Amino acid sequence: MTQVQKLAGLVVMILVLMASAAGGAWQIQNWRLGKQLSEQLSAQSAAHQGQLDAITNEAWRQQKAEQSKRLAIEQQIAAQDQQHAQELSDAQRKQALLRDRLATADVRLSVLLDSADSASGCNVPSTPGASGVVHATRRAQLDPAHAQRIIAITDDGDNAVIALRACQDYVRTISR
């Protein structure tokens, strides 16, 4: 081997060593940057997971609060419904009792007559006379069939008032 060949071989060997050293440096730099990147990603992932946990916990808290409100409203509506059903039942029972009493003539409906009305033909004085008989306000009794119809009308009116009150209470409860 000649001097030139030895020198060329040495230059090639130095170039190979320099290339391998540069490649090793790149590899070490890659490992170090990979480790830093991994640590950064892990820290960001932990922070992101913490935020997700906080959002999830707040959502659960809000959902439980809404469920509690809804349950309270449902219980309140159920109590009001029961109260209105009881009122309706009581009113119907009273109306049925009154209808029965009218049918058996135990009770009679009457209307007041205007004693000052000349068309009624009522000439009874409204003040007591010298004989001591007290003349009360004149009344006329209604036919039982008419009385039954009047009671039916008032029954429908009572039911409507109770139903209206139930609707108003429901709307007030829901709108709160």
Q: Where are the domains of the chain?
A: 3-175
Identify the H or E element spanning 19.
helix 3-103
Per-residue model confidence (pLDDT) at position 120: 53
Q: Does residue 164 surpass a pLDDT of 80? A: yes
d(CA 147, CA 109): 6
Calculated CA dihedral for residues 107, 113, 115, 119, nearest 10 degrees:
-140
d(CA 127, CA 139): 16
Per-residue model confidence (pLDDT) at position 74: 92
Three-point CA angle 81, 83, 84, nearest 5°: 65
SS3 112: strand
Tokens representing 86 are 């009881």
Selection from 122, 119, 156 nearest residue 137 by Cα: 122
Q: How does pLDDT run across 36-78, given as a tens digit for each residue? A: 888 888 888 888 999 999 999 999 999 999 999 999 999 999 9
Q: Which residues 6+ apart lie within 8 Å of 20 measured at CB? A: none
pLDDT band at residue 116 using 50, 70 and 90 as cut-offs: low
Mean predicted lDDT score pLDDT of the chain = 81
Per-residue model confidence (pLDDT) at position 57: 95
pLDDT band at residue 133 using 50, 70 and 90 as cut-offs: very low
Region 25-40 average pLDDT: 80
